[in-house]
Amino acid sequence: MKKIDSIDSDGKVLFVAEKGTTVGTKEDCLSYGFNYRNSVCYAYNTTTKPSGDKNKPKGNILASSGNYALGIGNKIISGVNNVALGFKNLIHQNADNAIAIGKNAYAENFGELVYSSSKIPNRAKLSIQQFDGITTNQLPTEIFLGGHSGSRLYINEDYESSFMVQYTVSALNANSNQIWCNYGNFAYKYANNALSEVGHAKGTSIRDSNLDYDIEFAPHNNGNDYIELKVEGESGHTVYWTVVLQITEVRYG
């Protein structure tokens, strides 16, 4: 694979040669995931220009002025306050306030922070997602991404998918300033049009006193599938919750 020497304002790529530079071969161009047309390598599809001036020289496509991209060929096609950094990252579907970093990363949910270095678009990523909420009793209570009602860990049903999730939980009893913490791992899959749990290994609770709190996850198959997260406090306790999921995902479609 030849090293890139430069990319000009029109997206034309020059590669490092033994003496000076070269336009490179089709194989050189495609090895970076670029576009090869009329014996010239382009870093993005120059036949489809962004509608605005922002990020135009690098072929980044932004749905609105509330989004930002740095790099080449990034697409933010829905949502606001999203950021894409790198090469051909994608932010879409339910994503607001999301960040995609690297190469071919894809963010699809509220507040999602994703990284990928995959050479194949929509194939694999590492995702970090934060849930917040409040409980005042012992009843299982659903909490949401960023504490925003209805913002859930939705599954893209266009793909067969595997999810390995590591989670950490931090809960603070506002009445006594006692804490309850937990950690664990679970695996889910989306296959044959159904979301299901494969296994769940819950870690030891680390807590003050005898706080009897808990956390649970469940698959929801209703045509808009998602992984539900519920927490349980105790009667008379005002408890503030934060749950962070670190998700390793691979999929095909």
5 sits in the region (left: phi over 0; alpha: psi -120 to 50; else beta) called alpha
* Farthest-apart Cα atoms in the chain, separation: 76
Nearest to 70 by CA among 81, 49, 52, 56: 56
Answer yes or no: are the C-beta atoms of 84 and 70 closer than 8 Å.
yes
Least confident of 69-73, 97-101, 112-116, 174-178: 69-73
Decide if pLDDT at 145 tops 50. yes
CA-CA distance, 198 to 200, in Å (whole number)? 7
Nearest to 45 by CA among 86, 88, 5, 4: 88
- What is the reported pLDDT for 59? 81
Decide if pLDDT at 44 tops 80. no
Decide if pLDDT at 235 tops 60. yes
Per-residue pLDDT tens for 180-191? Answer: 999 999 999 999
CA-CA distance, 117 to 115, in Å (whole number)? 7
Average pLDDT in the 235-250 region?
98
Least confident of 5-19, 89-103, 235-249: 5-19
- What is the reported pLDDT for 33? 80
